[in-house]
Amino acid sequence: MTMLFLQIAFAALCCWFLFITVDMICGLPRNGGVCGATAIAKAIEKGGGNINGGTMMGNIVSSPDASAGTLLAACGVYCFGIPGGLIATILVYIGNRICYDPGYAGTTGCFIATFMVYGGTLIGIPAECFIAGMVIAILTIQGISHRNSSKLLGWIWRLFR
């Protein structure tokens, strides 16, 4: 039981780092790239949060970003190995185009996560640990405290600029 907990915790850290890094590099905190992202950002700012972190959170909710890509890659690798992760990458790309998302954070995150999750399986961390880890990573950003999460994302965004 302890080993499973450690595997999930390691996977959660890897997923969190991957999706935050890809989303930052792709500039999700910069502006609302899809419909609804700016409205979410303004609501989070009104609640005492950071506008840049809120913009990233709005982009996450409104279109498949690297967090969705990482989760779908983990599911794809769990079901079909690397081909499953690559199929997930194609589906995330299609989802981005459906949302009129001009960016590639979701596609990039999914592609990189496919190999990260597969690499994890090679060192003994099952893909299902990455699925659980990504759910935990998403909850830390979207599910616990919008105000505090947006401030953390805003702080990270300032480091990236």
Task: Name the residue with higher pLDDT: 37 or 87.
Answer: 87
Residues ≥6 apart with Cβ < 8 Å to 138: 67, 71
Task: Name the residue with higher pLDDT: 58 or 110.
Answer: 110
Residue 75 has pLDDT above 80, yes or no: yes
pLDDT on residue 151: 94
Q: Which of 22-26, 114-118, 146-150 has the highest mean pLDDT?
A: 114-118
pLDDT on residue 101: 79
Reported as a pLDDT band with limits 50, 70 and 90, residue 58 is confident
Helix (H) or strand (E) holding 16: helix 2-25
What mean pLDDT is predicted for residues 24-34? 82
Two tokens, residue 21? 């890094």
Nearest to 49 by CA among 29, 33, 67: 29
The secondary structure of 45-78 as a DSSP string is HHTT--HHHHHHHHHHHHS--HHHHHHHHHHHHH
Domain boundaries, the chain: 14-27+34-160
Reported as a pLDDT band with limits 50, 70 and 90, residue 96 is confident
pLDDT on residue 38: 87
Dihedral sign (CA 49, 139, 97, 99) = negative
Reported as a pLDDT band with limits 50, 70 and 90, residue 83 is very high
Dist. CA 128–CA 4, nearest whole Å: 10
Instruction: Share the mean pLDDT of the chain.
Output: 91
Q: Quick one: angle between helices 66-80 and 127-138, nearest 10? A: 160
- Helices marked H in 26-160 — which ranges? 37-46, 51-62, 66-80, 82-98, 105-122, 127-138, 146-160
Dist. CA 25–CA 3, nearest whole Å: 33
Residue 150 has pLDDT above 80, yes or no: yes
